[in-house]
Structure 1
Amino acid sequence: MEDLLVSAESRRIRRIALGDVLYRSAAKFGARVAIVDGDDRLSYRELDDLSSQFAHYLLESHPGRVQVATLCANSADMLVAINGIHKAGHVWVPINIQLDPAQIGYILRHAEVSCIVVDEAICQQPRIAALLGEIALPVIIACTDGGNADRTTLATAALGRPTALPEVDIDSQQPALIMYTSGTTGNPKGAVHSHASVYSAILANLSTFAFTDEDVVSGILPLFHCGQHVVAATAFAAGSCLVVARGFSAPAVIATIARERVSVLVGLPMMYGAMLADPQASMAAFSSLRLCIYAMAPMPRSLVNRIAETMSANIMLVTGQTEIYPVTMSFRPVQHPQRDANYWGVSTATCETAIMDEDGELLAPGEIGEIVHRGPNVMLGYFKDPAATEVVQKFGWHHTGDLGMIDDGGQLLFLDRKKDMIKTGGENVASIKVESTILGHPAVAGAAVVGLAHPHWSEAICAFVVLKAGASCSEQELIAHCRASLGKFEVPKAVKFIDALPQTATGKIQKHILRSQYADCFAAEVR
């Protein structure tokens, strides 16, 4: 029996490989538009052909399995490169274009990258050009205006090469990508995902989102993040059309929804807020929208209601992590008006979720502990870091570092990051609960809440607030606003107004910087 399971031919028949997703969709939806990139359009057949040609180029220049990085903004070229890397059986290393050159250099070296695809505009930045010259990597230019006669571009790499899917022996459990975390307190870690782990997330998302070949899906968020990447991969599996954008602009997105008849919009809560606040919103054509997906932050009930009234009543929160490919859980706020904005809902078809205590015991509904997951969408581990992998996968579950509880209805409530839970006067306070309350004030654009050392309370709650342009608000007004809906021990002892919240290049708030800068805030007082 074992002899039937070891041949390359047998593996090819039943393999799970990410490059096969596009190849199979092209066979079904060849002439359908796969990508809209500004005025450019690529059909499924064209995208499949170009990515196969790039795969053949990679196999000629790097015949063994190697890491290939992309340093690109959203574009059709980037999607050609990603799918070509997968078809070649190489390992994709996406790099956030907002990182500084030192961080980019760290990832390129740590991931042992053999070549890199770079947008022409990014490659021309002096510090990036100097870095690439220092590391001496082969460079393929993407999104070029044709003025790179002396350098390899995606177009020249594809020229004259076969459009057939390369015959490559790909094992379903071999690495498909190394995606680096944001590294809020140190160097980022590279989460290694197999073809099977990403593919399992795609399958779960097909049932969660119900994408079809009639859908037109937005590509506003960056493709170098797991969230937008898996949305794009899910769209291609379904035969949907993906409309990519280089960045977010409320007027541009509103116009794109109407022009391309976008049916699925994927964005952050602040993006939805900006669109609905735009003067064009009142006259906008949102009738094509059937699903509005949001992620990364809780959405105030007032914004949920406005989206439901103006854009679509089918609204969905989705969650995930770099280490466990999205989507892990989904929540429909319109269907659960009695549950607050911090609910994450229920797991997808391929993800199992539980609440665990410090000793590895699973907890009953109503009990608070760490949110843990297991399923085929979990990473293989951190690249070259077995110790960190062992910690995050102890007790046979993936540990998220998030605290939560499952209510009697089976819905998961997110409480806080473990490291951000505030202990004040013997009480535990979830920083996100206080932040959600502050964000409900009409003058507030952003907020971060931390616990700072206090001579009496052990830790005291301090809120850091960014006001909307032109808005005004006092510390006492915000504290009074919090008192109206929070317990006495949950109300901030101080509010600091700042111009901007410190963030990583992926948009995560760096609370450790606030804790460090304001460590002595309460040193001389007792409240």
Structure 2
Amino acid sequence: MEKRWLAHYPPEIPHHLDYPNKTLPDYLRETAAEFGGNDAIYFFGKTLTFHEVYEQALTLANYLRKIGLQKGDRVSIMLPNCPQAVVSYYGVLLAGGIVVQTNPLYTEHELEYQLNDSGATVLITLDMLYPKAAKAKAKANVKHLIITSIKDYLPTVKKWLYPLMQWKQGQPAIVKVEERSDQHLFSKIMSRPNITEPNIALDPVEDVALLQYTGGTTGVPKAAMLTHRNLIANTLMCAHWMYRCGKGTESILGILPFFHVYGMTTIMNLAIMQAYKMILLPRFDVETTLKTIEKLRPTLFPGAPTMYIALLNHPNLPRYDLSSIKVCISGSAPLPVEIQEKFEKVTGGKLIEGYGLTEASPVTHSNFVWDGERVKGSIGVPWPDTEAKIVSLETGEEAKVNEIGELVVRGPQVMKGYWNQPHETENVLRGGWLYTGDIGYMDERGYFYIVDRKKDIIIASGYNIYPREVEEVLYEHPKVQEAVVVGVPDEYRGETVKAFVVLKQGEQCTEEELDQFMRSRLAAYKVPRIYEFRKELPKTAVGKILRRALLEEEMKKNNESV
């Protein structure tokens, strides 16, 4: 297969990487040995060194073994970004377990489904989530709950103030959890250190490290089985892509949740592998983020487009110095060109668009950060050892240059398959290739472009309309902060284009004004026929706009009117 993109690689990025026969905990062990005294985590004034993270992970691993965890048993981690999330992740892996990353925002029903589907026997979560966890435990096969609190890892003064802060935010000030044979307190476990190395043989290539659930917006969630090798390969690719970032010298802003594979790889695993300091924030708040960047001077800031959009549109942005930011890799949703240019101007750093999916650990493509050419509107080129091609939607054969089709990829980061879903696995893994469901094309130089999800194409009067193209133009309008486009039923055209728009603070705009703007830039059949102005749009935990939720709203309205 012709890998024409390799001709554009700068000399610093190798075409092929060596993947040592190591597991994820091996990297924590090595970093603790070489950079043990360096800060690994900063959390609201509290710091942990790499040595402390390693010892605490060992303590948890030994405790898990003590309560009966065997190699291959699943442990659900339902935590926001906090020190316990890192300690728990590596502690489970050191014990030979498989991590099941669980969104703390899940409803009881969603949590119950995931626990039953994964067969998790242990659930690690926060005290404020205990009522939900306890109910789900009773309906699943979970044998043990391990409960922690945000205040467990706060500095002394903030620990005292924590109940008041919770009360002001409308959260329960104190959730008392009784310690018993099936309920354990994280703080008590850590108060009795046990830093013996568990003797568990792991095969990095075959042994699953993580069950990462995906597909919740398009059907029943299913778990991608990601091995130690899958996750290590993708993290090593990321480290080599950012070749100017020195080992042990960078600090990385950890807002993207670790329960999402993008945050887990590009922040947590990368930081452990490269000895970067993680500055953790448990949720995205614009003012807090701006203050954190100015005060703590992180150099790396992986994020989602909605995060960068929110920062750029905050009225107090000019008051803050964001010049410490060197590199941002944007993922989880398309990055509007307008936002990329503005953010680079504000920070002086590089904001590049990447592409990935849960089933690929997750990154497969991105633009070059420094020496290679960056192509606006493109997801860039495949990472080292990653192959990609476009296949025709009609014939399934490899498409010609610039011909639109489905993007398929293969490489060492591609999952082993879906957990207990052989039929679904066969649908997406064919002949070693992962069929992404994303529609795009490759240009003459080997740069790739995504035009939309296979399921999201709008067909109006026989024309294929790609929502992303329409959204890009909407983002060019000076009054538009966020926009998403969907196809809604239309008696005459079959489907027609509807745009949901959030205006910038203080701005006013009419449908007529947007219509004139769009018609000056797009063919008439692509221009939205309906506009709906909203104060906010539904989003996932990583800030990805939920197009599917809006589409379901429209379908419900349509059914009610029939």
Q: What TM-score, normalized by structure 1, do the two folds share?
A: 0.90
Moved more, 284-293 or 130-139: 130-139
1:396 and 2:396 are equivalent in the alignment: no
Alignment coverage as a number of residue pairs: 508
Deviation at 1:249, TM superposition (A): 1.8
Deviation at 1:156, TM superposition (A): 2.2
Name the counterpart of 2:169: none
Q: Percent identity?
A: 29
1:244 and 2:250 are equivalent in the alignment: no
Moved more, 71-80 or 288-297: 288-297
Give me the whole-angstrom Cα distance separating, in 1, the residues matched to 2:316 and 2:186: 38
Residues 460-519 of structure 1, C-alpha deviation per residue, up to 9 Å, x if partnerless? 222222334443222221111111211122111222334544445555444445445435
1:89 and 2:121 are equivalent in the alignment: no
Name the counterpart of 1:163: 195
**The one of 205, 213, 233 aligned to 2:269:** 233
SS in 2 for 1:86: helix
**Aligned 8 A contact 1:449 1:463 in 2:** yes
Name the counterpart of 1:220: 255
Name the counterpart of 1:70: 77
Mark the CA change 1:520 to 1:100 in structure 2 (over 3 Å): closer, same or farther: closer
SS in 1 for 2:509: coil
Mark the CA change 1:307 to 1:500 in structure 2 (over 3 Å): closer, same or farther: closer
Mark the CA change 1:350 to 1:154 in structure 2 (over 3 Å): closer, same or farther: farther
1:132 and 2:137 are equivalent in the alignment: yes
Residues 253-290 of structure 1, C-alpha deviation per residue, up to 9 Å, x if partnerless? 22222322211112222222332333443232223221
**The one of 219, 231, 234 aligned to 1:186:** 219
Summarize the alignment of residues 101-120 of structure 1 with structure 2, pairs less than 5 Å apart: 101-120=108-127
SS in 1 for 2:477: coil
Name the counterpart of 1:7: none
**Aligned 8 A contact 2:367 2:375 in 1:** no
Mark the CA change 1:485 to 1:335 in structure 2 (over 3 Å): closer, same or farther: farther
Summarize the alignment of residues 433-472 of structure 1 with structure 2, pairs less than 5 Å apart: 433-472=469-508
Segments of structure 1 that go 5 or more residues without pairing to the other structure are 1-13
Give me the whole-angstrom Cα distance separating, in 1, the residues matched to 2:242 and 2:370: 16
Name the counterpart of 1:9: none
Q: Which amino acid aligns with 1:350?
A: D
**Aligned 8 A contact 1:333 1:339 in 2:** no
Q: Which amino acid aligns with 1:33?
A: D
Mark the CA change 1:386 to 1:283 in structure 2 (over 3 Å): closer, same or farther: same
Deviation at 1:92, TM superposition (A): 0.1
Deviation at 1:45, TM superposition (A): 0.5
Give me the whole-angstrom Cα distance separating, in 1, the residues matched to 2:409 and 2:522: 31
Mark the CA change 1:327 to 1:520 in structure 2 (over 3 Å): closer, same or farther: closer
Name the counterpart of 1:378: 414
Summarize the alignment of residues 303-322 of structure 1 with structure 2, pairs less than 5 Å apart: 303-322=339-358
Name the counterpart of 2:54: 48
Residues 343-369 of structure 1, C-alpha deviation per residue, up to 9 Å, x if partnerless? 100111132111112443222321111
Aligned-pair RMSD on alpha carbons? Answer: 2.5
Mark the CA change 1:350 to 1:58 in structure 2 (over 3 Å): closer, same or farther: farther
SS in 2 for 1:122: helix
Segments of structure 2 that go 5 or more residues without pairing to the other structure are 1-19, 153-175
Residues 307-330 of structure 1, C-alpha deviation per residue, up to 9 Å, x if partnerless? 222202422212211111122111
Moved more, 442-451 or 46-55: 442-451
Name the counterpart of 2:38: 32
1:153 and 2:185 are equivalent in the alignment: yes
Moved more, 503-512 or 185-194: 503-512
Deviation at 1:336, TM superposition (A): 9.3
**The one of 21, 40, 49 aligned to 2:27:** 21
Give me the whole-angstrom Cα distance separating, in 1, the residues matched to 2:119 and 2:536: 35
Q: Which amino acid aligns with 1:58?
A: L
SS in 1 for 2:481: strand
Relative contact order higher in (CA < 8 Å, ≥ 6 apart) = 2
Mark the CA change 1:309 to 1:444 in structure 2 (over 3 Å): closer, same or farther: closer
Mark the CA change 1:500 to 1:276 in structure 2 (over 3 Å): closer, same or farther: closer
Give me the whole-angstrom Cα distance separating, in 1, the residues matched to 2:499 and 2:46: 46
**Aligned 8 A contact 2:327 2:369 in 1:** no
**Aligned 8 A contact 1:182 1:506 in 2:** no
**Aligned 8 A contact 1:392 1:399 in 2:** yes
SS in 2 for 1:274: helix
Residues 209-254 of structure 1, C-alpha deviation per residue, up to 9 Å, x if partnerless? 2342110001011110001100210111011111110111222222
SS in 2 for 1:373: strand
Q: Which amino acid aligns with 1:222?
A: P
**Aligned 8 A contact 1:182 1:504 in 2:** no
Mark the CA change 1:21 to 1:257 in structure 2 (over 3 Å): closer, same or farther: same
Give me the whole-angstrom Cα distance separating, in 2, the residues matched to 1:67 and 1:338: 41
Mark the CA change 1:286 to 1:462 in structure 2 (over 3 Å): closer, same or farther: closer
Q: What TM-score, normalized by structure 2, do the two folds share?
A: 0.85
Residues 422-478 of structure 1, C-alpha deviation per residue, up to 9 Å, x if partnerless? 222332111111112112223333322222333333322222223344432222211
